[in-house]
Amino acid sequence: MCKAPVTQSRRVWSLLTIRKWKLHAWVMAQYGLSAKRGEAIHHRDGEITNNLRENLVILTNQEHGRITRAESADVARVRTGRVGAGRKLTMDVAREIRAAYAAGRSTTSLAAEYEVTWNIVWNIVQHKTYKEHGQQDSQG
């Protein structure tokens, strides 16, 4: 087993700590780099399983959030065919999501399939959004 370097916080990486921390943080530690408070490690290609050093960069949390939100919006627009800010998922898609959720699918898996956030799926299955004509909000 390869011995990992000690990070600035004097934490020695082991198989146990690698399981507790994300792999990309461990990879960066191998190069003597670590995200400090207010920083995040970003995957340049957007693929979180690609933990090669050349795919990882340390950004401020603000920069990371801005990039991640922009990437998520681009993916969702391509997947759903939405090109303008005012366009939404269709009622037919909302019905498909509700049916799949009722059949046992998780909000997370549905969000991944339709490339939207899980809370959009949750609001759909709770009938908070994409209500059928005449349907009242069950929360009051």
Residue 140: C-alpha distances to residues 22, 65, 121 (Å):
41, 34, 20
The mean per-residue pLDDT over the stretch 1-15 comes to 49
What is the value of pTM for the model shown? 0.43
**Is 85 a residue whose pLDDT tops 50?**
no
pLDDT at 81 over 80: no
Higher pLDDT residue, 101 or 130? Answer: 101
CA 48 to chain centre: 9
Share of the chain above pLDDT 90, in %: 14
Q: Which region among 6-20, 25-39, 103-117 has the lowest average model confidence (pLDDT)?
A: 6-20
As a whole-number percent, the residues of the chain with pLDDT over 70 amount to 68
Q: Where are the domains of the chain?
A: 1-87, 88-140
Rounded mean pLDDT, 10-23: 57
d(CA 119, CA 111): 8
